[in-house]
Amino acid sequence: MKNLLLLVFLSSLILSCNSTKSGVFLTKKNVLVFTKTNGFRHASIEPGVTALKEIASENHWAVQHSEDSLIFNSENLKNFDLIVFLSTTGDILGEEQQVAFQNYMETGGKFFGIHAASDTEYDWPWYGKFIGGYFLSHPETQKARIKKIENHKTVKAFPESFERVDEWYNFKNLNPNVHVTLTLDESSYKGGKNGEYHPHAWFHKVGEGEMYYTGGGHTDESYTEPQFRQHLEDVMKWLISYSNQ
């Protein structure tokens, strides 16, 4: 009987260890994907949400997709390990929601802004500095060359220099303190307005929190494009695992 009980205990222990390694018993991370628009609405939002949900499922993360700004209160936000603004536009948060979001970020929150997240909250000075640069204009969708500034974890999917098709944002009020990971080569396409140094993706600390912004993601095809999709996943992984590294 003792041998049988010992066998059952050892079997349970092995199963527990294997399950933990596979992530079954690990604490699930929670991601908020926010897509509210109060201006132009990108058709690629829906493919983007699908891609982010698929990435989350592959990594055993839980995703909540919302366009309700009232979700931005201190009680709700403390439950999220990462907040994603996917092509949000215009004024999307009221004053109370702004306070809650700012507090979330400055006390250790994680944020990922994609494409039109920079076309958001123009009348909120904190957000302008936080997002790293406001959308100014863009030429027609076309192929452009992108340069990788360093071998950061978030851009490991890309070679040192590469081309892809997207809508290329020009920016105003660029924050000089952001850490740039990708730049656009304006000589490779028509309509660039930022000059020889044209930031395209970047990150920086916000109080105790961390944010990342990437300019790609206008087209539907972006979200099935292997390298760009891997970029999204790598950014999310980096932010979720970030702890003052």
CATH number, domain of 69, equals: 3.40.50.880
By residue range, what is the domain housing residue 167?
Answer: 27-241
Residue 130 identity = F
With cut-offs at 50, 70 and 90, classify the pLDDT of residue 15. Answer: very low
Q: Is residue 11 part of a domain?
A: no
For β-strands 142-148 and 179-185, DSSP reports them as: antiparallel
* Whether 97 contacts 72, CB under 8 Å: yes
User: pLDDT (tens digit, 9 = 90+) per residue, 162-218?
Assistant: 999 999 999 999 999 999 999 999 999 999 999 999 999 999 999 999 999 999 999
Work out how many domains the chain is built from and give that number. 1
- Residue 241, token pair as written in the block: 């695992």
SS3 category, 212: strand
Q: Is residue 72 part of a domain?
A: yes
Of 116, 211, 123, nearest to 171 (Cα)?
116
Q: Is residue 117 part of a domain?
A: yes
Q: Does 4 have pLDDT greater than 60? A: no
* Whether 98 contacts 90, CB under 8 Å: no
| 49 vs 113: CA distance, rounded Å | 13
- Residue 138 — φ and ψ, nearest 5°? -155, 145
